[in-house]
Amino acid sequence: MLESFVNNKLIQKKNMLIQSNLYPFFRAISDTVGSKVYVKNQKQIMIGSNNYLGLTHHPYVKEKAIKAIEQFGTGCTGSRFLNGNLEMHEELEEKLAKFIGHKSALIFSTGMQANLGAISCIAGPRDCIISDLENHASIIDGTRLAYGTVFKYKHSNMNCLEEVLQNVKDKYQRKIIITDGVFSMTGTIANLTKIVELAKKYGALVYVDDAHGLGVLGHQGKGTINHFSVTSDVHINMGTFSKSFASIGGFISGSKEVIDFIKHSARSFIFSASMPPAAVATVAACIDIVTSDPSVLANLWSNVNFMRHGYKEIGLYTYNSETPIIPIYVGDDLKALQVSSYLTEKGIFSTPVIAPAVKEGDALIRTSYMATHEKEDLAKVLEVFSEAKKLFELPSIYN
Residues serving a catalytic function are 184, 212, 243
Cα separation of 106 and 275, whole Å?
A: 11
Consecutive H or E run containing 83? none
- At position 259, the amino acid (one-letter code) is I
Specify which residues 38 forms β-bridges with.
31, 43
Cβ atoms 1, 7 nearer than 8 A: no
Count of other CB atoms within 10 angstroms of residue 335:
18
Cα separation of 394 and 147, whole Å?
A: 45
Give Rg (Cα) of the chain: 21
Cα separation of 98 and 85, whole Å?
A: 20
CA distances from 177 to 202, 204, 212 (A): 11, 7, 18
Tally helices (H) and strands (E) across the chain.
15, 14
Q: Could you tell me which of 262, 197, 231 has the C-alpha nearest to residue 103?
A: 231
Cβ atoms 250, 114 nearer than 8 A: yes
Q: Could you tell me which of 265, 223, 230, 243 has the C-alpha nearest to residue 96?
A: 223
Side by side, which strands form the sheet with 128-132?
A: 104-108, 250-254, 236-240, 205-209, 175-180, 128-132, 149-153
SS3 of residue 378 by DSSP: helix
Cα separation of 325 and 255, whole Å?
A: 30
Cα separation of 237 and 211, whole Å?
A: 10
Specify which residues 177 forms β-bridges with.
130, 206
Specify which residues 237 forms β-bridges with.
208, 253
